[in-house]
Amino acid sequence: MSMWGKRQDEPAPKPVTIPKPVPVAPTPTEVKEVKKEATPLTSNIPLGKMEPDTQRGSATIGKAVKIVGQIYSREDLYVDGDVEGTIELMEHKLTIGPNGKVQAAIKAREVVALGTIQGNVEASDRLDIRKDAKLVGDIRTARIVIEDGAYFKGSIDIVKPEPAKQASKGQPAQASAAGSGAPLNTSEAKR
Amino acid sequence: MGAGGSLAEKIRSLFRAPRASGETVPVSRTAPPAGRHLSLRGGEKETVTSRQSRGLEQFFGYIRDQAGLTILDLGGASQANVNFITNLGHKLYSVDFLRSMEETFGSEDATDQSNPGQIEYFLRQNLDYPDESFDGVLVWDALEYMAPALLAATVERLHRITRPKSYLLAFFHSDERVAAVPHYGFRIQDFNAMQVAEYGSRRPAQLFNNRSLEKLFQRFESVKFFLTREHLREVIVKR
């Protein structure tokens, strides 16, 4: 009986920690130039406001944000804005939203494209090019899904997990980026 | 016994694939049955037909036993084609030729494909590869929608970027009097079978007969024709 009363009078044994809202993405993202700041970089965007493919816990670059530089992320990333440079999410998933315009070399475990990508894409697990997406660049991936209506220009290199035959007769790989219209590398190569 | 045998033979004959252009085409064990159905592609109605293809059979006859080849597909990326070719161990390059033509030269009605600057731009955008890069090219029916100047430049470029002894597979309508031809998408199903998806019709820039096709590919080593029931001429061109 006294036990219950005692507990009510006593102060809480441990201080309660209230998590602070994080105003910027917690990922080690290098932002060299942010031209628009209407939408902040954040991991805490309410799910209801995101596109259907956005998953809980992923960082988001909103549609009014433009980033020029290199992005490294240790969590999933949803890009609905403009990115120029490189994006690396080695063990994570990158989703380019329907408003996303990415002019970058991409490395990720999984890439889902609903918007526009110009640049080479390396998806160690899977690449998904949705109906209205546009991808111009060379692809290296283990699995690829291309919906009808998607636009793709470039090369597809399926990299199997197990060692496959490497009896290549000499591909136009050195010039593949230029040949397939990957603009980032094309412009660099021609300078 | 004899009666039973003849009945079984009749039943078997009901399930045999139809013959294309009067020739017997062996049916692959894995080939789907010929058929026709409707489906939707991005809200657009399409009619899909499965059929045998001697041209495809010939094309893959040359590349199926090798791996690590480099194949160029000018029909745009489709899941079926990507899967089939990459599963053979080849590297696939994909270009949506017709879409790129529309982007470069305008829509079908405003087509002006004779401007040398635009032709050069088109080739740079779509076929800017080093000489002798490819072991095979799936051209499908893209050449049919090209005006003479663009067509000649494209065929010349295809000759340049393909390796000697490589093959091109191209389709041309065999009816020389039509104003519009069905617009197709081609999806490989097997070494000798494909799905043909029809999305309305398009106006061809030129129509060809065997003689004009031989002239078009005169720089190549050989040209072989197969006529299909759909009035398509399947053409295998050897570099």
Tokens of B102: 């529309």
Tell me if B128 and A179 make a contact (CB, 8 A cut-off): yes
- The predicted complex's ipTM stands at 0.74
What average pLDDT does this structure show over A54-63?
Answer: 77
CA A100 – CA A105 distance, rounded (Å): 14
On whether residue A95 sits in a domain, the answer given is yes
Spatial CA neighbour of B87 closest among A158, A125, A52: A158
pLDDT score of B126 more than 80: yes
The residue range of the domain holding B113 is 2-238
pTM of the model: 0.70
Q: Work out how many domains chain A is built from and give that number.
A: 1
CA A121 – CA A103 distance, rounded (Å): 11
On whether residue A16 sits in a domain, the answer given is no
With contact defined as beta carbons under 8 Å apart, do B111 and B147 qualify? yes
Tell me if A156 and B69 make a contact (CB, 8 A cut-off): no
Which residues of A are less than 8 Å from B91 in CB distance? Answer: 155-157, 168, 171
On whether residue A4 sits in a domain, the answer given is no
CA A54 – CA B115 distance, rounded (Å): 45
Pairing of strands B193-202, B44-52: antiparallel
pLDDT score of A175 more than 60: no
Q: Where are the alpha helices (DSSP H) in B19-146?
A: 54-63, 79-87, 97-105, 116-126
CA B129 – CA A176 distance, rounded (Å): 7
Please write the tens of the pLDDT for every residue from B135-179: 999 999 899 888 898 999 999 999 999 999 999 999 988 877 777
Residue A40's pLDDT band (boundaries 50, 70, 90)?
very low
pLDDT score of A87 more than 70: yes
Residue A89's pLDDT band (boundaries 50, 70, 90)?
very high
The residue range of the domain holding A133 is 23-44+56-161
Q: Which of A27-36, A76-85, A94-103 bottoms out in mean pLDDT, i.e. has the lowest?
A: A27-36
Q: How many residues belong to chain B? A: 239
Query: In Å, how far is B137's CA from the nearest CA of chain A?
Result: 13
Q: Is B21 left (phi over 0), alpha (psi -120 to 50) or beta?
A: left
Q: Which of B70-74, B98-102, B188-192 bottoms out in mean pLDDT, i.e. has the lowest?
A: B98-102
Instruction: Please tell me which residue, A114 or A4, carries the higher pLDDT value.
Output: A114
Residue B200's pLDDT band (boundaries 50, 70, 90)?
confident
For A172, the closest of B67, B82, B129 (CB atoms) is B129
Instruction: Please tell me which residue, A76 or B48, carries the higher pLDDT value.
Output: A76
Residue B62 in contact with partner chain A when CB distance is under 8 A:
no
Q: Which of A105-109, A161-165, B91-95, B191-195 bottoms out in mean pLDDT, i.e. has the lowest?
A: A161-165
Residue B89 in contact with partner chain A when CB distance is under 8 A:
yes
For testing contact with chain B, the best of A127, A128, A156 (most B CBs within 10 A): A156
pLDDT score of B187 more than 70: yes
Question: 3-state DSSP helix/strand/coil percent for chain B, to nearest 5?
Answer: 35, 35, 35
On whether residue A6 sits in a domain, the answer given is no
Pairing of strands B181-190, B193-202: antiparallel
Residue B164 in contact with partner chain A when CB distance is under 8 A:
no
In the 8-state DSSP scheme, what is residue A29? B
CATH number of the domain encompassing residue B196: 3.40.50.150
List the helix and strand counts (H, then E) for chain B: 7, 10
Pairing of strands B70-73, B134-140: parallel
Please write the tens of the pLDDT for every residue from B229-238: 777 889 999 9
Tell me if B77 and A152 make a contact (CB, 8 A cut-off): yes
pLDDT of residue A50: 44
Q: Which of A114-123, A155-164, B122-131, B223-232 bottoms out in mean pLDDT, i.e. has the lowest?
A: A155-164
With contact defined as beta carbons under 8 Å apart, do B27 and B190 qualify? no
Question: 3-state DSSP helix/strand/coil percent for chain A, to nearest 5?
Answer: 15, 40, 45
Q: Work out how many domains chain B is built from and give that number.
A: 1
pLDDT score of A159 more than 80: yes
Q: Which residues contact B129 (CB under 8 A, 6 or more apart)?
A: A172, A175, A179, B72, B93, B161
pLDDT of residue B30: 36
Which residues of B are less than 8 Å from A167 in CB distance? Answer: 66-68
Q: Which of A68-82, B4-18, B93-107 bottoms out in mean pLDDT, i.e. has the lowest?
A: B4-18
